[in-house]
Amino acid sequence: MRYTVFFIFLACFKSHAVDCATETSLKVGIGSSWPPFVMYGTRPYGLDVEITEAVFKHAGYCIEFVQLPSSARGITELEKGLIDILPSASFSVERAKIAYFSIPYRRERMRLFTNKEIEPNSNLVELFSAGYTFTSNPGAYYGEEVKQIKKIDWYDKRLFEISSLDRRIEMVAKNRVDFLIEDEDAGYYYINKLGYGSIQVHPYIVNDNAIHFMLGRHAFERTDIERINEAITSLLGVITRISEKYRKDSG
């Protein structure tokens, strides 16, 4: 099988006597650019990239980042055993059938970003029922409310899934859709750094949940999960400082 659409960025570490020059590296799947979590220059960087590097270095693993075309592809590649780790993962029962989950390493709040004046007390179902249109990231988890909404055909037709955040937020800025459902930090990054000053955050919180590493069952044993969890616990202060750095840069 060929992987011509993938780009691999090596990030090997020496920890606990692991020699990454000879040790096989675990593949970490990351999707398209998603500031401030994943961005691309000569190599990947961003909040989740730095946290992933810190945690797996501390736990004593060698890793390499593999750029994938979308979040949805990451789940597929992990299930097939072609990817070993997915950061930025929300827990669901369906996902737990194909992978282990680490303890949480940060939280994620999904919000509604809009270019329109909207009744602030409206909830998500009311907005869908009113005929508004939405855009979101394919393969991302937005909570049970969105999951149930997508089961209703009339609602689902009003939700346009696009893998590029650049394109999603541009659609809102140009009034091609009414709402972007997006992580709070990512949305604020675009508002504050890329000049989308007309876009506002609706008060409604779509979902607030913990974020984990998904760990392929083909690559990890229970003892490995314990090591990774211990690394996360030991690095909580470091993770907080990384998160604050990127939030400050986005403000």
List the domain boundaries for the chain.
26-107+210-250, 109-208
Q: What is the CATH number of domain 26-107+210-250?
A: 3.40.190.10
Amino acid at 239: I
Fold agreement between 26-107+210-250 and 109-208: yes
Q: What is the DSSP string of 110-174?
A: EEEEESS---TT--HHHHHHTT--EEE-TT----HHHHHHTTSHHHHTTEEE-S-HHHHHHHHHT
Kindly compute the dihedral angle of the four CA atoms of residues 34, 38, 44, 45, in this order, to the nearest 10 degrees: 130
| Element of type H or E holding 216 | strand 200-216
Task: Give the residue from 33, 74, 59 showing the smallest Cα distance to 216.
Answer: 74
* Averages of pLDDT over each 10 residues, the chain, 251 residues: 52 55 86 89 95 96 92 89 95 92 96 89 91 91 90 94 88 94 89 82 94 97 97 97 80 53
Q: What is the DSSP string of 2-23?
A: --TT-EEEEE----TT--TTTS
Residues 109-208: name the CATH superfamily: Periplasmic binding protein-like II (3.40.190.10)
Q: CA-to-CA distance for 190 and 200, rounded, in angstroms?
A: 11
Instruction: Provide the β-strand partners of residue 180.
Output: 113, 135
Task: Give the residue from 162, 214, 134 showing the smallest Cα distance to 34.
Answer: 162
| Cα→Cα distances 42→10, 45, 190, 245, Å | 11, 9, 21, 21
Q: Quote the Cα angle for 123-128-131, to 5°.
A: 130
